[in-house]
Amino acid sequence: MHADAAQDPGTDALAELADPGQGRVEGIHITSARSLPMESRERVRAVAGVGLEEDRYFLRTGTYSDDDKDGRHVTLIEAEEIEALAAGSGIVLAPGETRRNITTRGIRLNALVGRRFRIGAVECEAVQLCEPCQDLVDLLGKPVLRPLAHRAGLRAMILTSGEIAIGDAVVVLA
């Protein structure tokens, strides 16, 4: 997390365009239906073109399951941004409360949009930022829209099937 990002979510955008670094999977969360609590997993199977087995978007029970064009196979968020949210605004989120599937550490996810990357042996392509929405605010009962703007992770398409586990490397491919 860059020091000034806690004050203004857009200030480190130029730094993100450089080297996103290499990270690790710190958390995995899925849920079978929208609005249900996310459940922590040690590992999960990713299915190319579909999503994470047992997750709401794999099962087509998620809020946005009917919108196939937005690459909602898997969502990721940086642990550093969750920590910055707590430090900068006092809003503390427990693991999984962000509603993102994969929590990473050590990699700038915003810099991956439009690029391919690998999580363990699973190849993905980052499609777009995963901005916070009113549904998240309503579920959490916490005012996260503004503090998480441009910092709430990304959506990615799963290009190859395989297993993702806690501790797996997250590596940029192209």
The predicted model scores a pTM of: 0.84
CA atoms within 13 A on the CB side of 160: 11
pLDDT score recorded for residue 10: 45
- Residue among 94, 91, 95, 98 at smallest CA distance from 143: 91
Instruction: Give the angle subtended at the CA of 148 by the CAs of 145 and 154, to the nearest 5°.
Output: 110
SS3 call for 3: helix
Residue 118 has pLDDT above 80, yes or no: yes
DSSP 99: -
Domain 3-172, CATH homologous superfamily name and number: PK beta-barrel domain-like (2.40.33.20)
pLDDT score recorded for residue 145: 77
Lowest mean pLDDT among 18-22, 39-43, 88-92, 141-145: 18-22
- Residue among 125, 135, 114 at smallest CA distance from 64: 135
Instruction: Find the mean pLDDT for residues 57-79.
Output: 74
Instruction: Find the mean pLDDT for residues 107-129.
Output: 96
Instruction: Find the mean pLDDT for residues 99-125.
Output: 96
pLDDT score recorded for residue 110: 95
